[in-house]
Amino acid sequence: MSTNHGRPAAYYRTLTRNLVLFVVVVSLVPLMFSGAVILYEFDRAYQSKVEQHLEVLLNKHRRTIDAFLTDRLADIRVLARSYPVEMLKDPAFLRAKLSLLREEYGGVFVDLGLVNPEGRQVVYAGPFHLTGADYAQAQWFKQAKAGEHFISNVFAGLRGSPHFIVAAKKRLMGRDWLVKATIDFEAFNALVEKLVIGETGFAFILDREGSFQTKPRQEVALASGAWRELLRRPLDGGKVTIIQRTGSRDREMIYAAAPLKNGSWIICAQQERADAFSLLFSAQRMAVTIFVLGGIVVILVSLLLARRLVNRIAEADSQKEAMNEKMIEAGRLASIGELAAGIAHEINNPVAIMVEEAGWIEDLMSEEGPLSEETLSEIQRAVQQIQEQGSRCKQITYKLLSFARKTDPTVKEVSLNSLVEEVISLVGQKSRYAGVRIETELGPGLPRVAASPSELQQVLLNLVNNAVDAIDSEGGVVSVRSNPDNGWVRLTVSDTGIGIAPANLARIFDPFYTTKPVGQGTGLGLSICYGIINKLGGEIKVTSAKGKGSTFVVLLPAISQSEAAPETTDPAARS
């Protein structure tokens, strides 16, 4: 029973799943795509922004530091060029100049000194007692003597604390004197230490040999990894070189380096990537969060909607099923109504005979005198006739009842031929009065079909009824044939009636379409046939020629002999 009503639960499950998949794919794929594109572009833009920022920052500081060094050198050069050696030899003058410089530049200048061509510091102004110190063997002295002016690397020197020297030459009688100033390391260091990039970024300065010119904020491993790689590169042309590598403790780092002081120093900066890209990473995290949350919402909503939709569809399906059953029932009653005229007459005839026989007996009994032998046998015959006509009535009512009982859609194995015979006996009287001869040619050994007997009976009744109705008062022949056809059972109902106009042929299976006069046809018969045959997995076709008659062919799937249970051949279960 259940296999015949509605679709199996699996069908609705598949429908729900497909709907959910469809909605999820359609809504999430573009979202994912656009998200990925936006993230990628944002990543690239941010990357270049971070690098640019670093470059600008480094360049700015490079210029500042270069300017600082140049300015300090210029101070000393002015000092050297403005005054003759005699004046510079005066310690009081030098002290006055030092205090002037210290006033002007804070604690940048530590001391001033005049070094004679032999490398002895003849005059000294400053906090240390370095008058007479001998620099002849000092590295800076040798280098300074080579050029016009000189800025040394940072070194500890005689005083034992880091500093560097700015020196300018003073020519006197063909011999080079040096005016030298010491620059406080701390003051210089502050310049670079001010350069803080984000939370973790910092800068420092190296010379070409890789010794620190400023104090890095954190320990920096120059000998290995990214710094080694970066410092090996030719850092020329004043450009900032940036690389990104995995640094110590597996942190993603950004390293940048640029030449300074005409290439003899290098300004370096490093920053954790997570810090530099913190905004990008938080944007990415937010995007991923939004995507995941959105995805969950989309999936939930699509699940909910699909469930609801599928429930509605299931409801509509079962309603449609119920409607179909009601329509078949209505069509059945309409067919019975059409038959009613013929059947009423069919019952009326035996009733009239019985009434006449009863009257005849009454006539005979009212004769005067004792009943003769002849009269008695006449009464006998009349009574027998009444019994005969009574059983004829019974047969008619049984036939009608068998058809008028409620439609039972249960699918069984049905013998088409016996159904045909049943229906023809029902239509027999009607056709006899219409002058229609019904010929049957039922194929012997016809395979059974899986169908509801009452539904199939109705199909046959509708077809045969229509065939009889199609024949006009001059009479004609309706022939019903059945034969097996390669796994199918073929039933042909043809008539020699008025035929169907080609214009109407396309519409004859439409519900409520009828060419019969109002009140005589519901227009449901053939549409119900069509519905029933379709449900059984069969086919119904019609050919007709106006004035020559019509032929309806019904094909139903046969139950093959090997198939045992009728359930497996239920066409509804297959669909």
Nearer to other proteins, 378 or 570 (CB): 378
Nearer to other proteins, 96 or 341 (CB): 341
Looking only at Cα atoms, what is the longest distance across the chain?
196
Stretch that binds other proteins, among 274-282, 311-319, 345-353, 464-472 (CB under 8 A): 345-353
Buried b (16+ CB within 10 A) or exposed e, 523-548: bbbbbbbbbbbebbbbebebebeeee
- Check: CB of residue 69 under 8 Å from CB of residue 152: no
Q: Does 360 bind other proteins (CB under 8 A)?
A: yes
Q: Does 363 bind other proteins (CB under 8 A)?
A: yes
Site map for other proteins, 300-339, x if CB under 8 A? ----------------------------------------
- Check: CB of residue 419 under 8 Å from CB of residue 527: no
CA distance 256 to 227: 9
CA distance 481 to 478: 10
Q: How far is the CB of 435 from other proteins (least distance, A)?
A: 6
Length of the chain: 575
Q: Does 341 bind other proteins (CB under 8 A)?
A: yes
Among 116, 121, 389, 465, binds other proteins (CB under 8 A): 389
* 83-85-89 Cα angle (round to 5): 105
Nearer to other proteins, 220 or 400 (CB): 400
Q: How far is the CB of 521 from other proteins (least distance, A)?
A: 17
Residues 505-564 that bind other proteins (CB under 8 A): none
> 456: which 2 tokens?
């199939």
Nearer to other proteins, 245 or 432 (CB): 432
Among 47, 349, 375, 415, binds other proteins (CB under 8 A): 349
Q: How far is the CB of 330 from other proteins (least distance, A)?
A: 22
Q: Does 102 bind other proteins (CB under 8 A)?
A: no
Among 27, 70, 385, 492, binds other proteins (CB under 8 A): 385
Binding residues with other proteins: total (CB under 8 A): 23
Among 101, 382, 533, 558, binds other proteins (CB under 8 A): 382
Q: How far is the CB of 341 from other proteins (least distance, A)?
A: 4
Q: How far is the CB of 549 from other proteins (least distance, A)?
A: 20
- Check: CB of residue 514 under 8 Å from CB of residue 523: yes
- Check: CB of residue 61 under 8 Å from CB of residue 189: no
Q: How far is the CB of 5 from other proteins (least distance, A)?
A: 38
Q: Does 193 bind other proteins (CB under 8 A)?
A: no
User: What residue spans of 238-277 are helical by DSSP H?
Assistant: 273-276
Q: Does 40 bind other proteins (CB under 8 A)?
A: no
CA distance 270 to 276: 10
- Check: CB of residue 463 under 8 Å from CB of residue 529: yes
Q: How far is the CB of 434 from other proteins (least distance, A)?
A: 8
Q: How far is the CB of 552 from other proteins (least distance, A)?
A: 25
DSSP state string for 283-300: HHHHHHHHHHHHHHHHHH
Buried b (16+ CB within 10 A) or exposed e, 73-100: bebbbebbeebebeebeeeebbbebbee
Residue 47: Cβ-neighbour burial (10 angstroms; 0-12, 13-18, 19+): middle
Pairing of strands 109-115, 412-414: unpaired
Nearer to other proteins, 386 or 449 (CB): 386
Q: How far is the CB of 522 from other proteins (least distance, A)?
A: 19
> 543: which 2 tokens?
């050919």
Stretch that binds other proteins, among 330-338, 356-364, 454-462, 522-530 (CB under 8 A): 356-364
Is the torsion defined by CA of 113, 116, 119, 121 positive or negative? negative
Q: Does 439 bind other proteins (CB under 8 A)?
A: no
Local structure of residue 564 (DSSP, 8 states): -
Nearer to other proteins, 349 or 415 (CB): 349
Q: Does 376 bind other proteins (CB under 8 A)?
A: no
Site map for other proteins, 441-480, x if CB under 8 A? ----------------------------------x-----
In SS3 terms, 143-167 reads as HHHHCCEEECCCECCCCCCCEEEEE
- Check: CB of residue 185 under 8 Å from CB of residue 164: yes
Binding site for other proteins (CB under 8 A): 340-341, 344-345, 348-349, 351-357, 359-360, 363, 382, 385, 389, 432-433, 435, 475
